[in-house]
Amino acid sequence: MIMSDANPYALLFEPIQIGPVTARNRFYQVPHCTGLGHLRPRADAAVRGMKAEGGWAVVSNQETEIHPTSDLSPYAEGRLWDGRDVPALRLMTDAVHAHGALAAIQLVHNGNHAQNLLTRAPVLAPSEMSVDTTHPKQAQAMDKADIWEFRRWHREAALRAKDAGFDIIYVYAGHNMTLAQHFMLPHMNQRSDEYGGSLENRVRLTRELLEDTHEAVGDSCAVALRFAIDEMVGADGMQAAEEGRAVVELLADLPDLWDVNVADWSNDSATTRFQPEDGYQNAFLSHVKQITRKPVVGVGRLTSPDMMLSMVKKGIVDLIGAARPSIADPFIPKKIEEGRIDEIRECIGCNICVSSDNLGIPIRCTQNPTMGEEWRRGWHPEIIAPKKSEAEALVIGGGPAGLECAMQIARRGYQVTLAEASAEFGGRVAKESRLPGLAAWSRVVDYRLNDLKQRGNVQLFTDSRLDGDQVAELGVEHVFVATGSRWRTDGMGRNTQRRMPHIEQSARVLTPDDIMNGILPPNGPVMIYDDDHIYLAGVIAEKLAAAGYPVVFVTPESLVSAYAVHTLEQPRIQARLIELGIDIRCNQVLTAVEGDMARIGCAFTGREASIPCASAVLVTERHRETALYDSLRGIGLKTLELIGDAASPGLIVDAVFAGHRAARDFERPKAEADKDWFRREIVDLEET
What is the C-alpha separation between 444 and 440, in angstroms, rounded? 8
Determine how many CB atoms are found less than 10 A away from the CB of residue 202: 25
Determine whether 175 is an active site residue: yes
Active-site residue, selected from the candidate residues 230, 264, 268, 645: 268
Go through the chain and tell me how many residues it has: 688
Determine whether 135 is an active site residue: no
H helices of 459-613, where?
A: 468-474, 512-516, 536-546, 570-579
Determine whether 33 is an active site residue: yes
What is the C-alpha separation between 556 and 533, in angstroms, rounded? 9
H helices of 324-370, where?
A: 324-328, 332-337, 352-359
**In sequence order, what are the beta bridge partners of 552?**
527, 583
Peptide bond just before 305 cis, omega within 30 deg:
no
**DSSP structure string for 97-152:** HTTT-EEEEEEE--GGG---TTT-PPPEESSSEE-SSSSS-EEEEP-HHHHHHHHH
Distance, CA of 128 to chain centre:
33
Closest CA to 559 of 540, 522, 587: 587
φ/ψ (deg, to 5) at 385: -60, 140
Peptide bond just before 264 cis, omega within 30 deg:
yes
**Which letter, b or e, does each residue of 167-180 get, where b requires 16 or more Cβ atoms within 10 Å of its Cβ?**
bbbbbbbbbbbbbb
Closest CA to 25 of 321, 293, 257, 260: 321
What is the C-alpha separation between 346 and 559, in angstroms, rounded? 31
Query: Which residues are catalytically annotated?
Result: 33, 172, 175, 268
